[in-house]
Amino acid sequence: MPVALVYNETQHTVERFENIGMEGDMPEAYDKLLTILDDAVKQQRENTRVMLDADHPSTCSG
């Protein structure tokens, strides 16, 4: 599944959780959603960095 889709779907689910107050009723599930969201953001950031580095090889970091 593409990272952007994972991010969008998880963000939507987090918003639904928050809108109906489920983050307090199901804290473990809410924490898992936040972890998935965090991982998706990190993956997207890395993908973007790789694409930018590919466009400008002289600016590669690391």
Please give the tally of structural domains in the chain: 1
Q: What is the DSSP string of the chain?
A: --HHHHHHHHHHHHHHHHHTTHHHH-HHHHHHHHHHHHHHHHHHHHHHHHHHHHH-GGG---
Give pLDDT tens digits along the chain (62 positions).
Answer: 788 888 899 999 999 999 999 999 999 999 999 999 999 999 999 989 999 998 876 655 55
Domain assignment of residue 52, yes or no: no
Q: Could you tell me the pTM of the whole model? A: 0.73
Amino acid 4: pLDDT: 83
Domain ranges, residue 12: 3-46
Amino acid 13: pLDDT: 93
Domain assignment of residue 34, yes or no: yes
Amino acid 42: pLDDT: 93
Domain assignment of residue 53, yes or no: no
Amino acid 3: pLDDT: 82
